[in-house]
Amino acid sequence: MKDLLISHVDLDGVSPNVLLNLTGRKFNFKNIEIFDVDKTFDELFNKDIKKYENIYIVDLTLTEHAHELIQQSKLTNIHVFDHHASHEFAINYPYTDIRVTIDGKKTCGTELFYLYLKDKYKELNHQDIKEYVEYVRQLDTYDFKDEETAQNLNTLHDILGHKEFISTITKRLKKNKPHFDFTQFEKRLFKIERNRINRYLQLRDKELKVYNINNYKVGVVFQESNKSEGGNYLSILHPDLDLIALIDMTGKISYRTTKDNVDLNEFAAIYGGGGHKKASGSRIKDEDKEVFIKEYFNIK
């Protein structure tokens, strides 16, 4: 029987695909946005949930509805690994491992999943794999010890896309080298890409508009890529702002802040989203896009 992996779409979401590949297990996978959780679970539990040997859910904050489906199924092969504070309401469910920190250090979905798998699959106990997991953790939590390497890893993911990135990193980690590293070609590519990103972020800064939203001073910008870097860049550049809202018109708004007194998980929840205290997101619904189109083109 195959396993099933359901996880997020960012670097912390696709890295569990890499880890499962390294175990040699056959599995199906779904990388989904947080706002697709209920739809995905409704489809899954209505059809083929019982055909999998193990079901792993990583880096996703499940809704109460999703947890109800899991509990009603009475299946014992479901395992949930998540690090979002908004998911702590499910911390005592027997099938969950939900931790925001480990030994006082911020953790991520990939790290939680790795800690689970490495005890079952000894082939994961190699230094280069451990280092890869650590770079993913640093990038996802912005808890940097080697920011350049972590950011470059995310850049490689952005350049290659999900499928090619998973394949490339899986092949690299199977070689069990002493340390995780990039190729010389990739390093040259990162320098070129860094210059492009810097120019891109400078343009976003010029287009930033400031609004008062829910008693917060919010910098709003349209941005379709490099959202984490952009949010952090603009937050540091404009310390007077409470938060940055980065609108991707393809369907998502990302929220970033550097302020300790701003909880973006609560802010995003107002708009049906969620996430971390300093990094969250919400969805642009289809009806919202329709309103924009009609308003912009003056359609009655």
pTM of this structure: 0.90
Phi, psi of 217 (to 5 degrees): -85, 110
3-state secondary structure of 150: helix
Q: Where are the beta strands (DSSP E) in 170-278?
A: 209-213, 216-222, 243-248, 252-256, 274-275
CA distance 299 to 110: 46
Specify the number of domains making up the chain. Answer: 2
Structure tokens given for 160: 């290659």
Q: How far is C-alpha 51 from the geometric centre of its chain's CA atoms?
A: 27
Are 170 and 217 members of one domain? no
Can you give the residue range of the structural domain that contains 54? 3-182
Residue 198 lies in a domain: no
Q: What is the identity of the amino acid at 290? A: E
Residue 90 half-sphere exposure, CB side, CA atoms within 13 Å? 24
CA distance 208 to 220: 6
Are 46 and 125 members of one domain? yes
Task: Return all residues near 205 (Cβ < 8 A) that are at least 6 apart.
Answer: 221, 233, 234, 237
CA distance 245 to 227: 10
Phi, psi of 215 (to 5 degrees): 70, 15
pLDDT digits (tens, 9 = 90+) for 164-197: 999 999 999 999 999 999 999 999 999 999 999 9
pLDDT digits (tens, 9 = 90+) for 131-141: 999 999 999 99
Structure tokens given for 85: 């504070």
Residue 193 lies in a domain: no
Average pLDDT over residues 226-241: 93
pLDDT digits (tens, 9 = 90+) for 52-102: 999 999 999 999 999 999 999 999 999 999 999 889 999 999 999 999 999
For position 213, which CATH number holds?
Answer: 3.10.310.30
Are 42 and 149 members of one domain? yes
